[in-house]
Structure 1
Amino acid sequence: MKPLLLLDVDGVLNPMGPPAAGYRRYRCTIGAEVYTVHLNPAHGRRLLELALNTGSELVWATTWEHHANDWIAPRIGLPTLPVIPMSPGAPSEHGEMFKTPHVAGYVGRRPFVWFDDQVWAEDEEYLRVHQGLENFLLVHVDPAEGLTSRHLGMAQKWLTLSGFSQGPERI
C-alpha cells in the first residue's frame, strides 16, 4: 500500500499572508464566485519529487475538491489527482475539524502525511482514538506562510524513518 500525501489548498499552497517571492497571482472562477489565489509553481515540482522519492501518492484534501484539479494543479505543474470528497458532514463530536472524518474514511489503513493549516491535537486524537489509525503525520502549516521546505522535509523524514517510504518509483 502506497503512503498518501494529502494536500490542502488555502493556507497551504495558497498562503493567507502576503505572498513571498516566487508566488504568482491568479483569478479563479467557480460558478459565480471569483477567487484570487497566490501559487508558487515550484510547489508542484517539489511535491512530485517527494511523492516519487517516497513512493507516495498525492491526493487533494481540500474544500476545493475537484476544482483543485481544474484551477490549482495546472498552475503548479501537478497532474490530475484523486480527491477526498468533503461533502457537508455531521458537526464535530470530539473537537476535530470537519475534514478529519472524511480523511479517515478515505485513507482506510494506509499511512499518510496530511499538509493542512487547520490540523490540531483534536484531529490527531480523533484519528488515533476514535478511528484507530496509527500511521500518519499531521503537518500543521502556518497559513500566513504556506508550505515550506521544512514541511516537505518533515514528511520525507517521517516516511523514510517510519519505513513507509517505498523508495523511488521506477517508471
Structure 2
Amino acid sequence: MVDTDRPLLFLDVDGPLIPFGDPPRGGYPTYRSPHVPPGTTPGGNPLITRVDPELGRRLLGLPGEPVWATTWLEDANECLAPWLGLPRLPVVDWPVDDPDATGEPDGVHWKTRALVEWAAGRPFAWVDDEITEADRRWTAAHSPTRTLLHRVDPRCGLTEADFTALDTWLRTA
C-alpha cells in the first residue's frame, strides 16, 4: 500500500549508492552484506560490494517513500535491494529507451521533467550526483509542491551529512 502522505525519496544508484571516480587513497572500501549468502553478489555485479549494506537501514529510517530513480530500472530491485535488505521499491520508468541520448538544450537533466511528472504533485527529494542549478530552477518553476534536489559527491556516495540534510528536509516536507 502506498503512503501518499509521506514525501517521495527518489534514489539514483551510480554515485549516491555506488561511489565512483577518483578512488580515495587505498581504493574504495568493499563490504559483505548480511542480507545475502556469503561470497555472492546479487546480479553478479562486482560494484555492488562498494555499497555499504548499512545504507538500506538508513534509507528506510528516513521519513520518505523510497523510489528507484535510476537507469538500473528493475535491476535495482534485483541486485541492490537484496544487498541493502530493502523490500522491492517502486521504479521510475523513464520515457525513452536511451535517456542519455536525449540531450537537453536548456541544461536540465533528462530525469528532471520525468520525476516531477512521476511525483504527481507529491513533495519529493531527489538524490543524484548529476543535479545542477538548472534542474533546481526548472523544478521550482514547474513542481506544484516542495522539492529538494540533493546532489551527492559521486566519489563518496551518501554521507552522514547527506542523511542529516535529507532527514531534516523530509520531516518538514
1:151, distance to aligned residue in structure 2 (A): 0.6
Q: Kindly indicate whether the alpha-carbon contact (under 8 Å) linking 2:104 and 2:110 is maintained by their aligned counterparts in 1.
A: yes
* AA partner of residue 135 (structure 1): R
Give the deviation of 1:36 after TM superposition. 3.0
8 Å Cα contact 1:41/1:76 also seen in 2: yes
Deviation at 1:23, TM superposition (A): 6.8
Q: Tell me how far 1:83 sits from its aligned partner.
A: 0.5
CA shift, 1:28, in A, is 3.5
TM-score, normalised to structure 1, is 0.80
Matched with 1:60 is 68
2: CA distance, partners of 1:35 / 1:104: 32
Distance 1:128 1:87 in 2: 21
Does structure 1 residue 11 correspond to structure 2 residue 15?
Answer: yes
Question: Judging changes above 3 Å, is the alpha-carbon distance between structure 1 residues 68 and 21 closer, same or farther for their aligned structure 2 residues?
Answer: closer
2:84 corresponds in structure 1 to 76
Quote how far apart the aligned CAs of 1:10 are. Answer: 0.4
Which of structure 1's runs of 4+ aligned residues deviate more than 6 A? none
Greater share of strand? 1
SS at match of 2:114: helix
TM-superposition CA deviations, 1:56-110 (whole Å, max 9, x none): 2110010101110000110011110001112425541421111111111101211
Query: In structure 1, what is the equivalent of residue 168 of structure 2?
Result: 157
Instruction: Classify the secondary structure of the residue corresponding to 2:47.
Output: strand
> Which one-letter code corresponds to 2:110 in the other structure?
F
Q: Which residue of 2 aligns with 1:86?
A: 94
Work out the CA distance in 2 between the residues paired with 1:63 and 1:113.
Answer: 18
User: Is 2:41–2:79's contact at 8 Å kept on the other side of the alignment?
Assistant: no
Gaps of at least 5 residues in structure 2 are 34-39
Q: How does 1:132-143 map to 2 (within 5 A)?
A: 132-143=143-154
Matched residue, 1:148: 159
CA–CA separation in structure 2 for the residues paired with 1:152 and 1:22: 20
Contact 1:28–1:36 (8 Å) recurs in 2 = no
Matched-pair contact (CA < 8 Å) for 1:27–1:35: no
Q: 1:103 aligns with which of 87, 100, 115?
A: 115
Question: Is the 1:59–1:83 Cα contact (8 Å) retained in structure 2?
Answer: yes
Within 1, Cα distance between the matches of 2:86 and 2:139?
A: 28
Q: Secondary structure at the match of 1:113?
A: strand
